[in-house]
Amino acid sequence: MQPVHIKIVNTSDNPLPDYATKGSSGMDIRASLHAPVKLQPLERALIPTGLFVEIPYGYEMQIRPRSGLAIKQGITCLNTPGTIDSDYRGEIKIILINLSADEQVINSGDRIAQIIIQQVEKAEFEQVEILNVTERAEGGFGHTGKH
């Protein structure tokens, strides 16, 4: 598998995102802070990373929560998966929320999220008067579960 090449500017003191194992889908991304950020229960904050990227056209970067941070501290990404478009050139910032009952502290260098690189398909809508019928039809919101 050929890697997608992404240009990156790193203004933080942190190492570049990297895959932890050969089978990893995501790369951990770290906070770049001048001072620790205290998150009270249900409080959210926009956490800078010091990273700026140039994603090739036809790709996106998705921001997803880290499972360890979620289970151990109750911290997750609020807008998940977040999307960074190929034409965005600003700093990558992560929206974190504290879903625990306790104050949580984010320090510079903490792994706060993971990034996934995805290819994006473009679509065009075709307006019609009627859609093809399927067995499922309008069933949704758990209709295949318990009755």
pTM of the full predicted structure? 0.87
pLDDT of 116 strictly over 90: yes
Model pLDDT for residues 88-107, shown as the tens digit of each residue: 999 999 999 999 999 999 99
Model pLDDT for residues 52-77, shown as the tens digit of each residue: 999 999 999 999 999 999 999 999 99
Beta strands in the chain (DSSP E): 7-10, 27-30, 37-39, 44-54, 59-64, 75-77, 82-84, 91-98, 104-106, 111-119
- Dihedral pair phi/psi, residue 115, rounded to 5°: -115, 140
CATH number of 7-119: 2.70.40.10
What pLDDT is attached to residue 139? Answer: 67
Report cis status (omega within 30 of 0) of the bond before 15: no
Specify whether the CB–CB gap between 105 and 44 falls below 8 A. no
Domain assignments of the chain as residue spans, ordered by start: 7-119
